[in-house]
Structure 1
Amino acid sequence: MNSMVFDSHDLGMTEDFLSRAYARMHIGSGSPGTGRARIRRDAVPSVSIDELDLDFEMSYSVTPLGRICLCMVHEGTIQDHAFGDVRDDFGSGDVVMLAPPDQPYTGRICAARYNITMLDPQLLNEVAAAGGEPLSEPVRLTGHRPHSPAAARHLKNTIGYLRDNVLANPMTVDEPLLVSTSTQLLAASVLAAFPNTARTDPTAQDRSDAHSATLRRAVAYIDDHPDQPLTVAEIAAAAHVTIRALQYAFRRHLDTTPLTYLRRVRLAQAHRALHAADAADTTVAVVAARWGFSHPGRFAALYRAAYGTSPSGTLHG
């Protein structure tokens, strides 16, 4: 994990820092406000989440970043934002995509407190693409605003969860299973929130491939690799089918999804680890994080539903 904190009243230093950390920026002379900038970044290789509080007016001109760049405004406004044919202003509560990864954009920050979330576009492909096969073209977001208020709320909640419970938590961010699961959740939330080119309905061939042998290959692969940061694409590749066929096979034969089955296998591994652990040497939170569960309350609820007792009851039993 990489973490970074910047706090300064010097506009020259702030302009230089922002230009190096993001892209070319210009803070106008005589900008209203105290001139204070407070910035925190928490990042893993595929995702970064920044919280910025800029008490002045600043213009930006950003070259293509090669990443999906989302902006969530807490206070203040972002005005005259432009890329391609898009012209828009953003205010408190808005969550938007600033531009496609291959396009530049410009605009003005007007004394705003906001969040910037950047993710590798490959994460979208891993969630939506055909398993194990190169995409004919990458998945693209085709609109810069979410398609509904409910989708926007879900995306904001996902970003907040990833920021507070994974990236900013030293205990969880070093657990590869937890980071992999959380970044896939973010990518899925982005695809659910914005119009995009991904196709998720199974084709006739996918339905034909969703037979019991496909399920057996996928289950065997999951059972043999629960300690690895698996993606749906990797499981589909191991089963020699597309993601859509894999998902359809799990729905048809087990009435569940591949990731729900994977979570069940990891829960069983956590159960075994708690049984074998010495309560003097470990905690429920450590075991849960090792097997990809970052939220203690959710882990406890899943555990009790599966085993009829609490995780701490197993550890101290």
Structure 2
Amino acid sequence: MRLRTDDATRVESTWKQYVPSAVLHDVDRQRFFFDWHSADLTGASVVRYDLAAEVRSTVQPENQFLVCRIEGPAVRIRSDRADLDASRPWISDGARVHSHWERGARVSAVVFEPTSLQRLARTISGDDTLSLHASDLSPRSASLAAAWDRMFTYLERSLAELDDHDELLRAELDRHAAAATLATFSIAGAPRRQRSAQTSPAPVTVRRALEFIAENAHRPITVDDVATAVHISTRGLQYAFRRALDTTPAERLRQARLDGAHRELRSGAPSTVSAVARRWGFSHPSRFATAYRESFGMLPSQTVAMHGR
């Protein structure tokens, strides 16, 4: 996709196609000019645009991993908790990030669907239940930040040479982008309770059920919904989980929701513990606190205190 315009409304609507939370504030329309390029991979979108104007913007990705680099004079970037180094890329999977530039900037971004990163991370780790979270918005080091920038340049040049029939090459570029991002940022899997070691790979049905749970735990799904999604009876799903993982689908769904609450409490987004608990399906605060401490070794309130809310 290519778009060149001086209409600020079109810019925001275009960006919202990729990051629905994106908002432009205080745009200087007298000096405004926008030049946008984007392309889709199998599990991610690649975006680069030049925006000439004084702009303040905010993004808060939902069900996405956004990796972004903003280049330009007097660029300032911050999360709700701290300033970010404008000379390096940053990542967010839910934390709000605010940007401000005065005379114009070039924005380079890759927007990942969570399953794209999780699929590769699970392959590398051998853990079919791994659920990712960006524990730090900044890259691990300056050298890794520079490597991510080089990856983006390679990605952009390679995509310019592809056509609609190059699906295998597009998939390889998708994997390359995901691998570089996993190496550059601290995207740790959420802690898990101890379980019996799995001596053989989980059956395809179990893996698909785990993916469905990870992607939909924030929704009011039940174990019956999980079974329906992977085309098996509820009893058959329960037997498959017990045999492959020595646990039940209900326990995995409950843990996925605890992990989601844990990520939200760590993000620093303004909310209360009880509101977070309700959003993730826990109606009894005391039961939520007990389950949370069993999984993460601390109370929800301690997680909030540690992350500065």
TM-score tier, shorter chain, comes to 0.5 to 0.7
Cα separation, partners in 2 of 1:32 and 1:88, compared to 1, 3 Å: farther
Task: Specify every segment of 5 or more residues in structure 2 that has no aligned partner in the other structure, as ranges.
Answer: 191-196, 201-243, 245-309
1:195 equivalent to 2:186? Answer: yes
The one-letter amino acid of 2:170's match is V
Offset from partner CA, 1:80-106 (integer Å, 9 cap, x none): 5224xx322443x42111x22x34443
Please name the residue that 1:6 is paired with.
Answer: 3
The residue that corresponds to 1:107 in the other structure is 99
CA distance in 1, matches of 2:36, 2:113: 21
Counterpart of 1:43 (choices 37, 40, 43) is 40
Structure 1 gap segments, 5+ residues each: 200-204, 210-240, 242-317
Aligned partner letter, 2:167:
P
Can you list the C-alpha shifts for 1:130-173, whole angstroms capped at 9, x where unaligned?
Answer: 688741x51222111111122112222222212211x22234x6
Query: 2: CA distance between counterparts of 1:87 and 1:33?
Result: 31
Offset of residue 13 of structure 1? 4.1
Aligned to 2:82: 87
2:160 paired with 1:168: yes
> In structure 2, how many angstroms separate the alpha carbons of the residues matched to 1:96 and 1:107?
12
- The equivalences for 1:257-296 within 5 A come to none
Letter in 1 for 2:31: T
Distance 1:127 1:80, change over 3 A: closer
- How far 1:45 sits from its partner (Å)? 4.0
State the SS of the aligned residue for 2:156. helix
Could you give the per-residue CA deviations for residues 202-246 of structure 1, whole angstroms, max 9, x where no partner exists? xxx79x98xxxxxxxxxxxxxxxxxxxxxxxxxxxxxxx9xxxxx
Larger radius of gyration: 1
Paired residues, number: 195
Normalized against structure 1, the TM-score is what? 0.52
Q: TM-score, normalised by structure 2?
A: 0.53
Structural RMSD (CA): 3.4
Contact 1:73 1:90 in 2 (8 A): no
- The separation in 2 between residues aligned to 1:14 and 1:42, in whole angstroms, is 16
Residue 117 of structure 2 corresponds to 124
Q: Report the secondary structure of 2:73's partner residue.
A: strand
Matched residue, 2:253: none
Pick one of 171, 174, 177 that aligns with 2:168. Answer: 177
Determine if contact 2:15/2:22 at 8 Å carries over to the other structure.
yes
Kindly indicate whether the alpha-carbon contact (under 8 Å) linking 2:42 and 2:170 is maintained by their aligned counterparts in 1: no
Return the offset for 1:196. 2.8
- Percentage of matched positions with identical amino acids: 16
Distance 1:79 1:126, change over 3 A: same
Distance 2:118 2:16 in 1: 29
Q: Does residue 154 of structure 1 match 2:144?
A: no
Corresponding residue of 1:26: 24
- Alignment equivalent of 2:53, drawn from 50, 53, 56: 56
